[in-house]
Amino acid sequence: MGKFVKPGKVVLVLVGGYSGHKAVIMKNIDDDTSDPPYSHALVAGIDHYPCKVTASMSKKNIAKRSKNKSFVKVYNYNHLMPTRYSVDIPLDKTVINQDVFTDTALKPKAHREAKAEFEERYKTGKNKWLFQMFQLLISGKWSDTQHHWLTIQLADSDLLDSGQQLSNLCSAVKGLEVEASSLVLSVPP
Amino acid sequence: MVTAKKMKKYLELINFRLQLVMKSGKYVLGYKQTLKIIRHGKAKLVILTNNCSALRKSETEYHAVLAKTGVHHYKGNNIELSTACRKHYRVCTLSITDPGDTDIIRSIPEQTGEK
């Protein structure tokens, strides 16, 4: 009843080299007529997340660890998982658009623009979820990216009622037998 | 614990409405198509069966929450839902885009709310 795949929406990439990475929709094409002939979205995402930074680090170290690397890509809607988050990062549409994929000179410019805007937003401390690597801690083990879209539900505590639901979800994934009490959620702040 | 009588009453109501939707309204059967329709904002009601896998159920519900679309958990399995839809294949996820002559979108949430 409401369209939620809109520019500014944060999505998770499910497929390909950037699986498990978070991205922001720049432009979405809903109809199946233009090239490619399926509903797709142009996203700008984070390739390399900024590292953890503590107060005891030197300024030089902090600057180095706060760097990120971005990517710009076109994805089929089926290969994206929309989240409830959206950001209003002012990514320049004239620089980041579909021409990037045909003209090789435009690509580095688009990447640089995305990287710069993401870094600026990261430094303000807003939209922390976007800059955190997607992860789930299950009984002390990090889950691999195969289970990443299981982990969305777990990391998004809005949807969870109880630990029972959690363990139902986990046993639905092959090879994951977890008791509800031993789960530790990494819930976004 | 749902009694047999309540169950029968519930099934009568919803099955009748589903059959009407199949005849007069527009709908989409199947998980892939339902997600597509939800993403485009065209779904008015999403129906999931009780034997829909938990992961699929959660994913569909999450999309429906984002789209502000109602989700109804049908009290039956995919074979029963397909019988209600008069189809010869199993359906565990279906989405109604246009209710046609029925009031399914208004009445089903009311009934489940009463329970």
Residue pair A170/A178 in contact by the 8 Å Cβ criterion: yes
Whole-angstrom distance, CA of residue B112 vs CA of residue A39: 34
Q: Is B73 on the interface with A (CB under 8 A)?
A: no
Chain A residues in contact with B99 by the CB 8 A cut-off are none
Whole-angstrom distance, CA of residue A177 vs CA of residue A170: 7
115 residues of chain B, pLDDT tens digit each: 578 888 888 888 899 999 999 999 999 999 999 999 999 999 999 999 999 998 899 999 999 999 999 999 999 999 999 999 999 999 999 999 998 887 878 887 666 554 4
Alpha helix (H) residue ranges in chain A: 59-65, 106-124, 148-155, 163-172
Cβ neighbourhood burial of A33 (10 Å; 0-12, 13-18, 19+):
exposed
A4, A77, A172 ranked by CB distance to B53: nearest: A172
For residue B45, report the phi and psi dihedrals to the nearest 5 degrees: -150, 140
Tell me the per-residue pLDDT of A77-106, one tens digit each, with 9 for 90 and over. Answer: 999 999 999 999 988 888 888 888 888 889
- pLDDT on residue A144: 45
- pLDDT on residue A34: 79
CA distance B44 to chain A (A): 6
Q: Determine whether the interchain pair A1/B67 forms a contact, defined as Cβ–Cβ distance below 8 Å.
A: yes
Q: Determine whether the interchain pair B36/A77 forms a contact, defined as Cβ–Cβ distance below 8 Å.
A: yes
B41, B55, B66 ranked by CB distance to A150: nearest: B55
Interface A-B, measured as beta-carbon pairs within 8 A, has a size of: 55
Instruction: Share the mean pLDDT of chain A.
Output: 76
State whether residue A51 is helix, strand or coil. coil
Residue pair A130/A22 in contact by the 8 Å Cβ criterion: yes
Chain B residues in contact with A153 by the CB 8 A cut-off are 58-59, 62
For chain A, what percent of residues have pLDDT higher than 70? 70
- pLDDT on residue B110: 64
Task: Give the pair of three-digit tokens for residue A26.
Answer: 């720049």
ipTM (interface predicted TM): 0.81
Cis peptide before A50 (omega within 30 of 0): no
CA distance B19 to chain A (A): 22
Kindly state the helix (H) or strand (E) to which residue A81 belongs, with its residue range.
strand A80-86
Handedness of CA A132, A114, A126, A24 (dihedral sign): negative
- pLDDT on residue A177: 40
Residue pair A15/A80 in contact by the 8 Å Cβ criterion: no
For residue B35, report the phi and psi dihedrals to the nearest 5 degrees: -60, -40
CA-wise closest residue to B91 among B36, B43, B39, B34:
B34
- Chain A residues with a Cβ under 8 Å from any Cβ in chain B: 1-5, 30, 39, 77-78, 81-82, 84, 149-150, 152-153, 156, 158-159, 165, 168-169, 172-173
Cβ neighbourhood burial of A144 (10 Å; 0-12, 13-18, 19+):
exposed
Q: Determine whether the interchain pair B69/A169 forms a contact, defined as Cβ–Cβ distance below 8 Å.
A: no
